[in-house]
Amino acid sequence: MKQHKEVEKKRPKSSSTGHVKSPEVKGGSSGADPVVPITDKTNPKGTRLIMQVLEKENLNVAFYNVVSNKGSAGVDGMTVKELKPYLQKHWTRLQSELERGTYRPRPIKKVEIPKPDGGVRMLGIPSVIDRFIQQALHQVLSSIWEEVFSDKGYGF
């Protein structure tokens, strides 16, 4: 019987600059370790990152992706057709909440989907506003983290 060597999980150590070296990626072509900022001493709450999320071009792409994906309304009943008028009226408040870190997502709508074997599967549907904000965040974070993942690795 093979014995498995226990792997110690280590947390990346931050340097004096407030950066964390990303884990070594095997099979990568570049020999340099990418450095990912986790905090900035002048902006400890990640102000620069949220500003990227709130850039007009990023928000426009997020809006287009959410609307083109369609999807059901969340607990608030708002459809994707109602998103643009809502944002036109409430964007200043939403933007301020996001910048201050006081934005709170709405509850998730629970829906039971019948399974072929007779059971049900729970499905959670976020509100359209939350899907818009999640999409804007996803676009920025993906552009940062996708660079450091190995082409040979697959996450599920």
Report whether 36 contacts 19 (CB < 8 A). yes
Q: Do 115 and 53 belong to one domain?
A: yes
pTM, full prediction:
0.66
Q: Do 38 and 49 belong to one domain?
A: no
Please write the tens of the pLDDT for every residue from 106-118.
999 999 999 999 9
Summarize the confidence of residues 116-131 as an average pLDDT. Answer: 95
Read off the pLDDT band of 133 (50, 70, 90): very high
Q: Residue 21: which domain range?
A: 11-42
Residue 153 lies in a domain: no
Cα–Cα nearest to 76, from 86, 66, 68, 61: 86
First CA to last CA across the chain, in angstroms?
29
Residue 124 lies in a domain: yes
